[in-house]
Amino acid sequence: MITLTNWTGGLLVATGVIAYIASGAVSVTALIPAFVGVLLLIAAFVGARSDGARQPAMITALVVALLAALGAVMNVLKLPAVFDGTAERPAAVVTSTIMFVLLVIYLILGIRSFLAERRGDKVG
């Protein structure tokens, strides 16, 4: 779960930085995926430091991911407007959609990991 959190956090930071640069570095909101990614990376760092902190840190990361995914839904729902050319801020919609997809995948894999651990299955 630590590795998954590191990868997800890193991809979100990259998404945010690329979106910020692509927007001409004028909109700080383009960095929202990067901010979420940094929070996930911090949680992974804390979780990797000690076994006792691992589960609370990963639960915190999943909560952050859930809240961020819910926050991105508003722009994700505007995705059809990007395809028909009527989106007011198409870059924001695309960036939010990328963040949403990454976080939903992270949530699914993270929840599966916790359930497997609870059942006593070996978690990779």
| 98, 33 Cβ separation under 8 angstroms | yes
Percent over 70 (pLDDT), the chain = 97
- Prediction pTM value: 0.87
The better pLDDT of the pair 23, 18 is held by 18
Distances (CA, A) of 74 to 8, 79, 96, 118: 21, 10, 9, 34
The b-or-e profile of 4-20 (16+ CB within 10 A means b, else e) is bbbebbebbbebbeebb
- Where do the H-state alpha helices sit in 23-89? 32-49, 51-76, 79-83
The residue ranges of every structural domain in the chain are: 2-119
36 touches 29 (CB < 8 A): no
- pLDDT score, position 98: 93
CA distances from 123 to 1, 4, 9, 94 (A): 8, 12, 20, 33
| Interval 38-57: pLDDT, tens | 999 999 999 999 888 989 99
pLDDT confidence of residue 97: 92
- Under the banding of pLDDT at 50, 70 and 90, the label for residue 123 is low
pLDDT in tens, 72-107: 999 888 888 888 887 778 788 889 999 999 999 999
Mean pLDDT of the chain: 90
**Residue 71 exposed, middle or buried by CB count within 10 Å (0-12, 13-18, 19+):** middle
